[in-house]
Amino acid sequence: MKNVKIFKTIEGNHLIKGRGLPKGCKFCLKGQKAVLFLNGICQKPDHCSWYCPISLERRNSNKTFANEIEINSFNELLEEVEKIDAKGMSITGGEPLSKLNLETTIEYIKYIKNQKGKKFHIHLYTNALNFNESIAHRLALAGLDEIRFHPSKENWSKIKIALNKGMDVGAEVPVIPDKENIKELEDFIIFLNKIGVDFINLNEFEYCFPNSQELKNRGYQLKNGSIASVVNSQEVGIALLKDLGNKVSIKMNFCPIHSKDYYQLRNRYLRRAKNVKLPHEVITEEGLLLFGQIEGKKEDLEELNSYLLSEMRIDQNLILLSEINIKLPFYLAIDNTIISVLENFNLIGYIIEMTPFRRKKYQQITEKTPIKLFKEEFGFNAN
């Protein structure tokens, strides 16, 4: 086998040249995958429960989420899938194939395939504890396109059951940078190649609030300048691609935390923002919604609203008046004429940057900047 070449994608993933990415990953990186978090119910296997990154709010909970939205029905899942114009869906948890979750998982797969068609790509994550021949056949029959295993060593052999069922088969595991785990991961990759799986995704080891104390107790450290990356995880992951790439023929992908937390989320936000934006909002490069917001007393806001419509002849569709504020396009809010008017009406103006959600429960204001300061920061005063 020729010496492999490793290349880095724009998102920061490292791949073996010529082998490519699993299909599910391609959709994820483009923000084209909806994420169905079935619930936080899991068997808590010893090999992974100690570093589980699931939030304390979701852990052990029976609540279901589609992306960031809590859902309670098939229709609500479909609504979120369509909000981001998704071309696929991943199913995670918790454990989607546990005895408590199996039937629900299969029903979700059947429903979405029926609604979106066979080309709609669905992949699923499992720890393999409950996996068997019957479940493999049922998943394939329901329309699952890709299955990703994260098993303990005792359950590696169960991966063979998924082969030749019409699904792409692979593994997705974190790169835990200590001698024992690295050796086991090397053996795992060799095993996967031997049985003929399609791929392995190596994820950067994540340091987060739910697992931080356990990782500290075991001696893992947070990388300087990072809020989530464990020291040496990325270096070990890339080294595994280089060292084992010549020995195996399966797809190998190292996925950094930045890729998941920035590129995948940003691209999903961009797709969502296009479907939910209002006339007064502008979409930023990060997929957030940008607009001007004027705050003050109700009577002053109403007077300003009348002035904007009658004196400045601004299109009424661009102005949203409520009892507590007026929302309007940011490019109007930074106009010097409007800034002068605000002072006359004793009102305060801000430029707001917000996540692309309409329900207040999920809206998050990421920036709230006074208009004059916004103009200075972004160089609008130069014009």
Q: Which of 343, 356, 346, 350 is nearest to 374 (CA)?
A: 350
Looking at residue 218, its pLDDT comes to: 97
Q: Which of 272, 269, 291 is nearest to 282 (CA)?
A: 291
Task: Check pLDDT > 60 for residue 382.
Answer: no
Task: State the amino acid at position 43 in one-letter form.
Answer: Q
Distance CA 361, CA 368 (A): 18
Are the C-beta atoms of 92 and 35 separated by less than 8 Å? Answer: yes
- Tell me whether strands 199-204 and 168-175 are parallel, antiparallel or unpaired: parallel
Looking at residues 286-311, what average pLDDT do you find?
A: 96
Q: Which residues pair with 15 in a beta bridge?
A: 7, 253
CATH architecture of 6-272: Alpha-Beta Barrel (3.20)
Q: pTM to 2 decimals?
A: 0.92
20: left (phi over 0), alpha (psi -120 to 50) or beta: left
Are the C-beta atoms of 218 and 181 separated by less than 8 Å? Answer: no
Distance CA 7, CA 5 (A): 7
Task: Check pLDDT > 60 for residue 383.
Answer: no
Looking at residues 54-75, what average pLDDT do you find?
A: 95
Phi, psi of 134 (to 5 degrees): -65, -45
The CA-based angle 310-311-314, given to 5 degrees, is: 70
Q: Is 175 helix (H, G, I), strand (E, B) or coil?
A: strand
- In tens, the pLDDT along 148-193 reads 999 999 999 999 999 999 999 999 999 999 999 999 999 999 999 9
Are the C-beta atoms of 261 and 207 separated by less than 8 Å? Answer: no
Residues 6+ apart with CB under 8 A from 319: 280, 305, 308, 309, 326, 327, 328
Looking at residue 114, its pLDDT comes to: 98
Task: Check pLDDT > 90 for residue 3.
Answer: no
- Tell me whether strands 325-328 and 33-37 are parallel, antiparallel or unpaired: unpaired
Express as a percent the part of the chain with pLDDT over 70: 99
Looking at residues 303-328, what average pLDDT do you find?
A: 96
Distance CA 25, CA 36 (A): 15
pLDDT band for 1, please (50, 70, 90 cuts): low
Domain ranges of the chain: 6-272, 278-382
Task: State the amino acid at position 8 in one-letter form.
Answer: K
Distance CA 93, CA 211 (A): 16
Higher pLDDT, 197 or 227: 197
Phi, psi of 9 (to 5 degrees): -80, 170
- In tens, the pLDDT along 86-97 reads 999 999 999 999
- In tens, the pLDDT along 105-146 reads 999 999 999 999 999 999 999 999 999 999 999 999 999 999
Task: Check pLDDT > 90 for residue 250.
Answer: yes
Distance CA 236, CA 210 (A): 24
